[in-house]
Structure 1
Amino acid sequence: MADTVHSLTTLNFITIAILLTLIGSVIQGMFRGASGSARYLLLMLVEGVMAIISIYLTWKGVQLLSPLIQNWLKLQNLQIPTREIGIWKQMYYTIVTSIRDFPLLRFGVLFLIGYILIKQILYRLADPLLQRALAGRWGRSSSRKTVWSTAAGGLIGSIAGITRALILIAVLFIFVTLFPTQPLTKYIEASPLYQKGAKEVIAPFTGDFIADKVPVFTRAVEQEFSNILQRKYEVLDARISPDIAVAAKEVTASGQTDEEKAKLLYKWIGSRVQYDFEKVKLYEEKRIWKEQTPEDTFLTKKGVCIDYSRLYAVMARSINLDVKVVTGLGYDGQGSYGPHAWNEVYLKEKQRWVPLDSTWVASGGNWFNPPNFDQTHIKEA
């Protein structure tokens, strides 16, 4: 008992937040009194039921609608223009083609729209019944509260507080499951109130669902986000200038396979383009980012990692290679990692994607699909 009291009084902001949620709800209930608290509890329960019904109906509806939307968008035969387009059209093609091609994004967009619409419809249908239920004793407020009314209001408020506290603990439980090695995770788990709620209520209620399914879903979302970022660069760099196309053809003229052509481009860009330290300095000191197109990089022969990668992607596509721009973290050679960009190219003869980093050619070594590439390059996902 003494250990429990000591742990509760130890300064832990997670414990404090949970306690304040409970205490605040009790005090709120006492001020409202029995009638006001009962009214509020009823509204909260209705809100919860409406949310659950809306989620279920939206989930089922989107499962039916998502493939139909995908097929309709495919029938539109939307192609990213190869001419120069403005920023609004760039956003349009990025969003629409991503919704067409990426199932989680499409599901998420449809779910959000469907949930809002269905919940509003349910509220409109249920509102007359709810108003009738509240029009009686609960609907009449009184400025005079008895001791019993205040006590009953506090009791009802405690029920609302427990519900709110469990919701807070559930959110923290998901965070702890997704990020078990984060310093904040250890801090959360140090809270005795969190441990009690998570172990005795949340974990038994969810079973293995959160522990098994949520991390897998999160990784899928991260991968899809990476694909959307890749699509953004595809839209931005869809236009290939004649000069770049001619140069790519000349550089890869001696290549017979996809791998040989991809490696020739990798060496050419890595040895021709110089790293633009002034661009990095301008951003680090003044937070000014000098945006440039692959054509700018090709003409000036200067750029940073993202410019190398975008130029490589455009030149590779001009000779019909499938290529991606990948963003993430790169090893700086001094024991830490920093923001970086590189490429992945698809080799048809090997039927797989391989990584390459043309930015690091000048530093020496082989950065075209070397062993342990992932030890020095960490994808953003």
Structure 2
Amino acid sequence: MNTWVQALLKPEPVALVVLLVLVVSLIQGLRRGASGSAKRLFFFIWTAAMVTVSLLLAGNGAALLSPWLRQFLVARNIVVPREELGAWSQFWYTLVTSIRDFELLRFSLLFLLGYLLLRFALGFLEPLVAMAFESLGGGRRSEAERSETMSKAASRTTGAAIGALLGAGRAFVIIAVLFVYVSLLPEGPLTDSIRASSFYNKTADELLQPVAGDVLERGPVLTQAVEAEFRKVLQRKYEVIDSAVPANIEQAALAVVKDAVTAEEKARALYDWLGSRIAYDWDKADNYEEQGIWKEQTPAETFDTRRGVCIDVARLYAVMARTVGLEVRVVTGQGADGRGGFGPHAWNEVRLADADGGWVPLDATWASTGDWFNPQGFERTHIRET
């Protein structure tokens, strides 16, 4: 116990927050007295129990419903129309096809919906529990009032003790939240300060780690999976937005590949065409890097202005490739910057269905610096986000 007190009294942020919670809870207990503090503690425990039950049921329910929902959506055969869509239609097709195709997103949405519904349903029990508590507590208060065995000072003292216990529960919740945060985002803001807290380390090591086991040790992997899923949804958004191909782009794509026969010849012809006609927009890149200003542009704008950054070139290539019957995707990740480092980048992968059926990488943005159509060692300069 002495080591816990010593850790708590060290002047560092986590310990100060916990100490403040304990002091405030103790003062509240003094003011409320025994009955009021007991009621607060009871409903704190009740809420924690309901949250735990809801989380467990929502997780199991999402795991059971996820495969069924995917099969249901696949059976609907939802295809994005190849026409210009309004904002709500874009949102709808992005959402429904992403839920169908991306497992983690589907599970997360089912889990969140299930948790909210369960918490709402269990909320109807709270008034009944409150009535039962008041009934029991009221009987005790009447008996205390008749016998006058408990003085006001004794009530406040008992309330303070209960308040301190409630504060300990609240402090534990705060440490648990910090533990989850540090586990899932080990490189996140303030994580170094949290890890530097001796009180946090003692609580995490002796109380939380034995309970969590190795589940949260896989936190960084889960975080990366969530980030990858988010990027998939973002890419799907672009696919939906870019589903409508303007007539001039379609005509240009068909003209570019008119002499090509194989899928590789078509993919190479489009690569050569974009690589020699779309100039890199250094002003757009500088505005984003130096001022954080990002200008979203459509493939039609890139085609008309003949200017764009890597994501613009990749999106235009994807639109033109799909127009001529190629299966293509936009890939995001890190590209070599020529100075020994890497920076955010985007390129394409195209599937050569009439060859071995495999996907090959290409980078039309870099075409002016060499041949970046499926060269050897492509992966050394392009690190795909997975």
What TM-score, normalized to structure 1? 0.86
Q: 1 CA distance for matches of 2:273 and 2:206?
A: 61
Cα distance, 1:288 vs structure 2 = 5.9
The change in CA–CA distance for 1:257 and 1:178 in structure 2 (over 3 A counts) is farther
Q: 1 CA distance for matches of 2:138 and 2:338?
A: 69
Contact 1:18 1:193 in 2 (8 A): no
Q: Residue 279 of structure 2 corresponds to which residue in structure 1?
A: 274
Q: Structure 1 residue aligned with 2:225, among 193, 217, 220?
A: 220
Provide Cα deviations, 1:52-78, integer angstroms capped at 9, x if missing partner: 222222233333333333333233322
Provide Cα deviations, 1:194-249, integer angstroms capped at 9, x if missing partner: 1111100101111112113x333333222221111111001000012333233333
Q: Residue 189 of structure 1 corresponds to which residue in structure 2?
A: 195
Q: Greater CA deviation, 169-178 or 302-311?
A: 169-178
The change in CA–CA distance for 1:126 and 1:171 in structure 2 (over 3 A counts) is closer
Q: 1 CA distance for matches of 2:284 and 2:220?
A: 38
Cα distance, 1:286 vs structure 2 = 7.6
Asked if residue 342 in structure 1 is aligned to residue 351 in structure 2, the reply is no
Specify the code of the residue in structure 2 equivalent to 1:204: P
Contact 1:326 1:341 in 2 (8 A): yes
Contact 2:58 2:111 in 1 (8 A): yes
Q: Structure 1 residue aligned with 2:234, among 210, 217, 229?
A: 229
Give the secondary structure class of the aligned counterpart of 1:324: strand
Q: Percent of aligned positions with the same letter in both sequences?
A: 48
Give the secondary structure class of the aligned counterpart of 1:135: helix
The change in CA–CA distance for 1:184 and 1:331 in structure 2 (over 3 A counts) is farther
Gaps of 5+ in 2: 145-149
Q: Residue 90 of structure 1 corresponds to which residue in structure 2?
A: 90
The change in CA–CA distance for 1:181 and 1:224 in structure 2 (over 3 A counts) is closer
Q: Greater CA deviation, 61-70 or 82-91?
A: 61-70
Q: 2 CA distance for matches of 1:374 and 1:19?
A: 52
Q: 1 CA distance for matches of 2:312 and 2:383?
A: 18
Q: 2 CA distance for matches of 1:20 and 1:130?
A: 29
Give the secondary structure class of the aligned counterpart of 2:124: helix
Note the aligned Cα RMSD (angstroms): 3.2
Contact 1:34 1:149 in 2 (8 A): yes
Q: Structure 2 residue aligned with 1:199, among 201, 205, 215?
A: 205
Q: Residue 173 of structure 1 corresponds to which residue in structure 2?
A: 179
Q: Residue 49 of structure 2 corresponds to which residue in structure 1?
A: 49
Contact 2:22 2:171 in 1 (8 A): yes
Provide Cα deviations, 1:317-371, integer angstroms capped at 9, x if missing partner: 1122222223344443346554433223334444444433221222x13433445
Contact 1:39 1:138 in 2 (8 A): no
Q: Residue 167 of structure 2 corresponds to which residue in structure 1?
A: 161
Give the secondary structure class of the aligned counterpart of 1:320: coil
Cα distance, 1:22 vs structure 2 = 2.8
Gaps of 5+ in 1: none
Q: Greater CA deviation, 40-49 or 320-329?
A: 320-329
Asked if residue 12 in structure 1 is aligned to residue 12 in structure 2, the reply is yes
Q: Residue 306 of structure 1 corresponds to which residue in structure 2?
A: 311
Contact 1:33 1:145 in 2 (8 A): no
Asked if residue 316 in structure 1 is aligned to residue 321 in structure 2, the reply is yes
Cα distance, 1:119 vs structure 2 = 1.9
Q: 2 CA distance for matches of 1:367 and 1:115?
A: 48
What TM-score, normalized to structure 2? 0.85
Contact 1:305 1:340 in 2 (8 A): yes
Contact 1:38 1:138 in 2 (8 A): no
Number of matched pairs: 378
The change in CA–CA distance for 1:132 and 1:4 in structure 2 (over 3 A counts) is closer
